[in-house]
Amino acid sequence: MISFDYSPAQKFISEAEIAAIEPLITTAARLLESRTGSGPEWLGWLDLPIKYDRAEYKRIKAAAKRIRKQSEVLVVVGIGGSYLGGKAGLEFCQPTPALPIRGGRKKHFDVVFTGTNLSSDYHAQVLEAIGDRDFSVNVISKSGTTTEPAIAFRIFKQKLEEKYGKAGAAERIYATTDKAKGALKTLAAREGYESFVVPDDVGGRFSVLTAVGLLPLAAAGIDVDALMRGAADARIAYKKPFAENACYQYTALRNILKNKGKEIEILANYEPRCNFIAEWWKQLYGESEGKDGKGIFPASVTFTADLHSMGQYIQDGRRTIFETVLEIDRPQTEMLVPKSEDDLDGLNYLAGKSLDYVNKKAAEGTRMAHIDGGVPNLTIHIPEASPYYLGQLFFFFEKACAISGYMLGVNPFDQPGVEAYKKNMFRLLGK
Ligand code: PA5
């Protein structure tokens, strides 16, 4: 199981404070499990690891196979909760996450995410990168009416139709949307696209374990059975009593720290494959907690790169920060520091040591420095970067987020604030 270590934060928090918050966490968790807290109509994600449409799940795996057979590129069109989980999972599990150079293997299957912005340059670059390769499209929108993916879908649908004709394009378009309503649902039914459902009781940012995340991940060749197994094990583990429950403990610690004025949580990692886990996590917590003038501000850094940019602020700036570190215990590869004859850089004392050994020492040294600088440190240990532990991690953060929302006294499942920019944009566009 992934594990949680708050011992490095002990300088900032007493056992009495943890004992005092424990019953509040347990009560909030009970509200969640009994579906008596706010937003009970949005709790489908709680049982998703075991309660899902088996027939659709089979279709997802079959569609993934077909996509790999018919294309070299899958263009995923979606924004917010309709893409972050898939992208996070892909980068976490792939051996070479998002590297611009994909040497080594002859033929690659690429998954590219679009509809996440309104940049003409970005979309033109994606089209250019696809070139004359065969491609398929997975358009994902629960509402079916979100502007960014709707525009991107028009662009890629048009390209598909130019390349394969209308009927050929329809065989390469996969729509993930509401089961009954919305513009995308209507279009998919009319054009005969294979469709997958975002369940009514699962909101966008909690939807990674539905077709929203599963189809892009399966198409990329990631073992979604292992992912679901990890989430199912987490679902059981995170019902246990507080003392054995890493999820409840994380929730408790972040809430105690917030009450002590640590209103910014930085999710840090030492492996670039975790960068999009952080992006997914920021949306999950930002949209769930940030309302009614409340909420911990979620930020992220990737170390050691950001020690050379954000490191100064974290060490020495305003003391409103705490840090949660994602640490992957075992890397997938071993790389050793080479020996140099002349030792001009003075690094021969590390020759023969693994890069991961140096990385872990950097993490340890940073943790000590940040604690000395007044930044409490929490660590989530992930045994390895596999789909199974990813499933655990997704569920861990989702449940901790929902309980944190209840602790704050907000409805963690709505997002009234995201409408504000849309109103202005539509007025300016003359809608
Ligand atoms: O979490 C959410 O609900 C949002 O981030 C949505 O996922 C995002 O706005 C995209 O919405 P839709 O899937 O309806 O296009």
User: What is the rounded CA–CA span in Å between residue 174 and residue 212?
Assistant: 11
- DSSP single-letter state for residue 62: H
Whether 177 is in the pocket of ligand 1, judged by its Cβ within 6 Å, is: no
**Which letter, b or e, does each residue of 165-176 get, where b requires 16 or more Cβ atoms within 10 Å of its Cβ?**
eeeebbbbbbbb
Report the nearest atom of ligand 1 relative to the CA of 206.
1
Ligand 1 center to 137 CA (angstroms): 18
User: What is the rounded CA–CA span in Å between residue 298 and residue 290?
Assistant: 9
What confidence tier does 417 reach under pLDDT thresholds 50, 70, 90?
Answer: confident
Ligand 1 center to 144 CA (angstroms): 9
Candidates 146, 179, 208, 291: which one to mutate for ligand 1, based on the most atoms within 8 Å of Cβ? 146
Whether 79 is in the pocket of ligand 1, judged by its Cβ within 6 Å, is: yes
Residue 14 sits at the vertex; the CA angle it makes with 239 and 329, to the nearest 5 degrees, is 55
Looking at the predicted structure, is the pLDDT value of residue 101 above 60? Answer: no
Query: Nearest 5°: phi and psi at 195?
Result: -120, 150
How do residues 19-47 score in pLDDT, each as one tens digit? 999 999 999 999 999 999 999 999 999 99
Looking at the predicted structure, is the pLDDT value of residue 157 above 70? Answer: yes
- Work out the number of other CB atoms within 10 angstroms of the CB of residue 400: 25
Whether 141 is in the pocket of ligand 1, judged by its Cβ within 6 Å, is: yes
**Active-site residue list:** 287, 308, 422
- Quote the pLDDT of residue 350: 97
Whether 143 is in the pocket of ligand 1, judged by its Cβ within 6 Å, is: yes
Looking at the predicted structure, is the pLDDT value of residue 118 above 90? Answer: yes
**What percent of the chain has pLDDT above 70?**
97
Q: In sequence order, what are the residues at sequence separation of 6 or more whose Cβ sits closer than 8 angstroms to the Cβ of residue 375?
A: 314, 315, 319, 321, 322, 323
Arithmetic mean of pLDDT over the chain: 95
Looking at the predicted structure, is the pLDDT value of residue 387 above 90? Answer: yes
Looking at the predicted structure, is the pLDDT value of residue 416 above 90? Answer: no
What confidence tier does 97 reach under pLDDT thresholds 50, 70, 90?
Answer: very low
- Quote the pLDDT of residue 423: 81
- Quote the pLDDT of residue 99: 52
Q: How far is CA 158 from CA 98, 153, 161, 164, in A?
A: 26, 8, 5, 10
Whether 80 is in the pocket of ligand 1, judged by its Cβ within 6 Å, is: yes
- Quote the pLDDT of residue 292: 92
- Work out the number of other CB atoms within 10 angstroms of the CB of residue 180: 10
How do residues 205-260 score in pLDDT, each as one tens digit? 999 999 999 999 999 999 999 999 999 999 999 999 999 999 999 999 999 999 99
Exposure on the CB side of residue 417, measured as CA atoms within 13 A: 13
Q: In sequence order, what are the residues at sequence separation of 6 or more whose Cβ sits closer than 8 angstroms to the Cβ of residue 410?
A: 38, 288, 289, 291, 292, 294, 295
Stretch 274-295: mean pLDDT: 97
- Encoding tokens for residue 321? 């920060």
Nearest CA to ligand 1 atom 3: 204
